[in-house]
A and B are shown apart, each in its own frame.
Chain A
Amino acid sequence: DTAVSQTPKYLVTQMGNDKSIKCEQNLGHDTMYWYKQDSKKFLKIMFSYNNKELIINETVPNRFSPKSPDKAHLNLHINSLELGDSAVYFCASSQVAVTYNSPLHFGNGTRLTVT
């Protein structure tokens, strides 16, 4: 019954590799997001998709590419991984682009460790 689910929960990989994180939501929401939580615990928006259309694309290296096959899924592909990419990546969704009555629902995160 998980509302927003991410896989994998842990990802350990070497520099230079390419990896993907998958996210699915069963809430019927139109908008999905990727957030990054770094070692200092700041949560920062990376991307936002509304009904499969990219609406927010913050200053993120182009090695990061989101893909939304349908409005229930938003995957994150990362090319040529670097040490600085190590962080916890959270997927989230909201009924519409965030408003006061449409809060974010987060997944439990994917802890990425690049060695």
Chain B
Amino acid sequence: EDQVTQSPEALRLQEGESSSLNCSYTVSGLRGLFWYRQDPGKGPEFLFTLYSAGEEKEKERLKATLTKKESFLHITAPKPEDSATYLCAVQARQAGTALIFGKGTTLSVSS
């Protein structure tokens, strides 16, 4: 069964304290791995797509990497405005399949 596991569930950082979020997945042929950010009371907002091992994407203080079994979202020198829930999702290669989401990591950055 295709599934996505994210860890940790919650992460508290001080402003400027870099860290990484993990997304482990099992899927019958990976078509793409997606990272989303969700703020309270809002819908998820697209951040990155990765679709082959070794690929990396960057956006401001965020950098996403992909291996054959997991993805990391690295946060460098985070700021309070980076506080949100970060969701990972995968899509299997089989046509017509929807995204399978993980439970998310809730990040809190304090000044």
Enumerate chain A interface residues (CB-CB to B < 8 A).
4, 33, 40-45, 48, 55-56, 58, 90, 92, 97-101, 103-109
- Collect the chain B residues with CB atoms within 8 Å of residue A90's CB: 43-44
- Collect the chain A residues with CB atoms within 8 Å of residue B99's CB: 45, 98, 104
Is the beta-carbon distance between A108 and B85 smaller than 8 angstroms? Answer: no
Selected contact of B46 from candidates A42, A99, A104, A107, CB within 8 Å: A104
Enumerate chain B interface residues (CB-CB to A < 8 A).
31-32, 34, 36, 41-46, 49, 51, 85, 87, 89, 91, 96-99, 101, 103-104
- Collect the chain B residues with CB atoms within 8 Å of residue A45's CB: 98-99
Shortest distance in angstroms between B102's beta carbon and chain A's nearest beta carbon?
8
Query: When A41-B85, A106-B43 are in contact, do A100 and B101 touch as well, CB less than 8 Å?
Result: no
- Collect the chain A residues with CB atoms within 8 Å of residue B89's CB: 43
Q: Supply 8 A–B pairs (Cβ within 8 Å), ascending by A.
A: A43-B89, A90-B43, A98-B98, A98-B99, A100-B32, A104-B36, A105-B46, A109-B43
